[in-house]
Structure 1
Amino acid sequence: MKKEYRLKKNEEFQEVFKKGKSFANRQLVLYKCENQNQEHFRVGLSVSKKIGNAVVRNQIKRYLREAIRHMDPPLKGGYDYIVIARKPIRNMSSNDIQKSLHHVSKKAGALDRRK
């Protein structure tokens, strides 16, 4: 994912948590907040230490970034998203994570049907 598509700063995360709405399934929580300053979407990833050691957490983040990159239809532009992983994601394959992310995105109305 390109740098302009990422949320990195704590202030950006806090703004999405305060102003955004959350949607969840058993494996993921998705926060969605409108950002009119941008025409494309931005995504922040959060994987807690409770899920596993650094190797496991980084692997889950790689799977999530790859799932976001391959989403069809893609996420809507003009929004900031935060994806938080829950414990059950630890035992899932890359394909299962992709399906779970698509499910929670659809639930949030975050998919861009025009593309």
Structure 2
Amino acid sequence: MLAQTNRITSGSDYKAVVRRGSRVVGPHLVTYLRTNSDATPPRFGFIVAKNVGNAVNRNLIRRRLKAASYELLSTVRPGTDVVIRALPSANAATWSALRTELSAALHKGNSR
């Protein structure tokens, strides 16, 4: 489970990352990354819209993304904000597929 310091909770922070951050698009996820000059812990936010599925499926996907983010937390540079938007195809994706895609997106975003 992600700690409170590792979560984006403000709507304005979500907007800032999505609008001004770099974007990495995959088959199941769109990952937005924005690096700040601060040495704050990395923060994650999740967007799982109704077009992904019903409430049960959306919550399952959100829990999978949170677990994958927790595992990959040490690979993200301090001061980075990450917003992960699930696409409708994420409904049929396995946990390992989502984790692999998120790992690749974070690696690609960190190398920029």
**Aligned position for 2:49:** 48
Question: In the alignment, what sits opposite 1:67?
Answer: 68
Residue 18 (structure 1) shift: 2.3
- Describe the SS at the equivalent of 2:84: strand
Amino acid at match of 2:44: V
Task: Give identity over the alignment, percent.
Answer: 24
> Residue 102 of structure 1 corresponds to which residue in structure 2?
103
Runs of 4+ that moved beyond 4 A: none
Query: Partners of 2:30 and 2:49 in 1: how far apart?
Result: 12
TM-score by length of 2: 0.89
Distance 2:4 2:39 in 1: 14
Between 57-66 and 72-81, the greater mean CA deviation after superposition: 72-81
Tell me, yes or no, if structure 1 residue 25 matches structure 2 residue 26.
yes
Task: Confirm or deny: 8 A CA contact 2:6 2:41 kept in the other structure.
Answer: yes
Tell me how far 1:71 sits from its aligned partner. Answer: 2.0
**Structure 1 residue 77 displacement after superposition:** 1.2
Q: Which runs of 5+ in 2 are unaligned?
A: none
Q: Give 5+ residue unaligned stretches, structure 1.
A: 111-115
Superposed displacement of residue 92, structure 1: 1.3
Given that 2:76 and 2:110 are in contact with CA atoms closer than 8 Å, whether structure 1 keeps it comes out as no
Alpha-carbon distance in 2 for matches of 1:30, 1:22: 6
Shift of 1:7: 0.6
Aligned partner letter, 1:60: I
- Cα distance in 2 between the residues matched to 1:72 and 1:48: 24
Q: What is the aligned-residue RMSD (CA, Å)?
A: 1.6
Structure 2 distance, partners of 1:14, 1:4, is: 18
The count of corresponding residues between Structure 1 and Structure 2 is 110
Question: So what's the TM-score if we normalise by structure 1?
Answer: 0.87
User: Which amino acid in 1 is paired with 2:42?
Assistant: F
Counterpart for residue 38 of structure 2:
37
Cross-structure match for 1:8:
9
